[in-house]
Each structure stands twice: as structure tokens, then as C-alpha cells.
Structure 1
Amino acid sequence: MPSGPNTTPSASPATEARLRLTTAATGRFDGAWWPHARDLSAELPALLGAVTERLGRIDRVTYHLEEWPAPHRRLAFDEGVVRLEGFRSQAAGSLTVIGWNRKRLTLAVVPPETGRETAERVLADAASGRTPQPA
């Protein structure tokens, strides 16, 4: 696996990804994700592991630049490297995971500090195809 100053090794996820996906493309989001913390580099391995079956090999993840404090630019994952790209133009409260085959999932991101009841409502709304209301 490549390594360097902008690469973090992939660790075994200590916790399961709190993720709900739609069964069909029905709107702006393909589901919602509720990370445990605001450390994107630490949170992504569990998320990527959960979406790999749907997307295949993961190429990159895009996110709103101001919502995640200084993540690494690359993440070692599944015998490869996933590029992490922050954009100010990315919709706030969203994250997109893109596979090598260019399939993608755009997820509503529930802030980690959101209470369980509210977060579960947002996850359920996203899974049912309704546009999740902000947490």
C-alpha cells in the first residue's frame, strides 16, 4: 500500500457504519450516514466497507471542505488508495463516494453530535427516499 505524509493506513473499523441506503435512486440522496466523530479519515473505513458491495472498488470521496477538519488527502483501503477531495461547492451536509466504475452514492451526513432520536429519523427518511430534513 502506498504511504506518505498525506496517506493514513486503513484500520479495521471499531464500530459499524451508521448508514441507511435507499433501494432505488429516488431523489437527491442515496441514503444517509451518521458518523461517530468529525474525523473523516478515521470514520471512512467503516463507511467504505459498508458501500463496497454496492459500488465495487472505491476511487474517491468528495465532501464539503468546511465540514471536516483537515482529513488526510488519501486513505489506504481495500488494497488500494482512496482519494479524499474537499470542495466548497459540494452541498453542505453531503458526502459522495465514487467507485472506479464511476457509480456513485451521495449521502446526507447527519452531524455526529446529533441526538439518537433525531439521527434515526433522518436515516429512516433517507432510506425511504424522502429528502432528509436537517438534523
Structure 2
Amino acid sequence: MTPQTRKNDQNGTVPAHTPRLRLKAKAPHGGYVDGAWWPHSDDLAGELPDLLAVLSVRLGRIDRVSYRLGAWANAPRKLTTGGRAVRLDGYRLQPRNTIEVRGLDDDRDRLILLVIPPRTDPDDAHTTMMAAAQSDNGATIDGLLMISPQDRDRRAEAATAQQRWQSEGETVARPEVAQVAG
């Protein structure tokens, strides 16, 4: 099912379905990404019209979108949205889980968005989106995708269990060594 956009007399189009998106403030910020987007599906052509309608408020007219080849099920070379053609460029070297959205002034009008996989747990997606939108967050793409509280808790439990196993193993091994030596 492809989302439909409605015509808006002032700015071209407005989204029919508000995209799940968080952006950093426009002021200077740290980190690789400018925010995060959580699409509903892996159909790029179906997901982009609503996203671009929202991003055009910040970027103005959008000229092109770059994405990682093979990351999307449906990715044509061009997309017409809001009565304008937008180039879609797939690259093998595009960082995984990102898209780059460019306005007409490539040097100034661009956003790099972390793309959260569509089937991500809602709590994990929300946590990741909020972290990616923090102006002072300089985390990498991989770091942002592994930031969920559940993942942190699982890793902490695994580390604790590993430490406990190692300490109990040493306690058991020492008496055996002492008995053999004595």
C-alpha cells in the first residue's frame, strides 16, 4: 500500500501519513547523522513521499536521495512527488542504515538520516530515534543502533554472568591444584 500525499496550495505537498522522524536542531551539532527515520516498510518509493514532504520544510526543494544498494525492496532511479522529480541514487559504499537527502544546494542543504529497520521493536526504535536527535550525541551509526535499553541490559547481564563464571571457575580450580601439588 503506497501512502498518498495531499496537495497543499502553499508548499507543494503535505504528508498523508506523518513519518516517524526525529531531527537534530538546525544549529551546529556533533555526530554523523542529523536525525533518525523509522519507515513503516522497506519500500523506498512508497515511504519517501511523506518523508520528503516533511523534510522540504527544512531543506526547500529536494533534488536527490542517496541510499545503500540492496537495502530497499523497491528503489527506482527517479521518484515524482509533489509534482517534481527526485533522483534516487543507490551506492554500495553508502553507509548501512542511512539515507542522504539533498536539496538544490548540495553543499548546504543536506541531511543524513539514520534509518531504523522497519521491523524494529517500537521501544528500541523510539530510544534510538531520541538518541540520534540529541544535538550533542556524536555516536556512530552502529553505536546508535545498539543503544536500546534492552540491548544494554542483555549485555550487562552477559558480562556479569561471564565474570561470575570466571571467578567461580578459578575458585574451584585452585583447590584441585593444591590437592595435586600437596
Percent identity over the alignment is 42
Equivalence for 1:50 = 54
Q: Distance in 1 between matches of 2:60 and 2:37?
A: 18
Structure 1 runs of 4+ aligned residues shifted over 4 Å read none
Equivalence for 2:64 = 60
- Bigger Rg over Cα: 2
**1:71 shift after superposition:** 1.1
Q: Distance in 1 between matches of 2:3 and 2:105?
A: 22
Q: Secondary structure of the residue that 1:83 maps to in structure 2?
A: strand
**Structure 2 unmatched ranges of 5 or more:** 6-14, 147-182
Q: Which of 69, 81, 84 is the aligned partner of 2:88?
A: 84
Q: Hey, which of these two has a bigger chunk of helix by percent? A: 2
Q: Distance in 2 between matches of 1:69 and 1:10?
A: 16
**Structure 1 unmatched ranges of 5 or more:** 1-8
> Is 1:38 aligned to residue 42 of structure 2?
yes
Q: Is the 8 A contact 2:23 2:133 kept in 1?
A: yes
**1:14 shift after superposition:** 4.0
Q: Which of 108, 123, 127 is the aligned partner of 2:129?
A: 123
**1:78 shift after superposition:** 2.2
TM-score, with structure 2 as normaliser: 0.66
Higher RCO (CA-CA < 8 Å; seq separation 6+): 1
Kindly provide the amino acid, as one letter, of the partner of residue 52 in structure 1: S
CA root-mean-square deviation: 1.7
**1:47 shift after superposition:** 0.7
Q: Secondary structure of the residue that 1:27 maps to in structure 2?
A: coil
Q: Is the 8 A contact 1:60 1:83 kept in 2?
A: yes
TM-score, with structure 1 as normaliser: 0.87
Q: Distance in 2 between matches of 1:77 and 1:15?
A: 14
Equivalence for 1:18 = 20
The number of residues matched between the two structures is 127
**1:77 shift after superposition:** 1.6
Q: Is the 8 A contact 1:10 1:76 kept in 2?
A: no
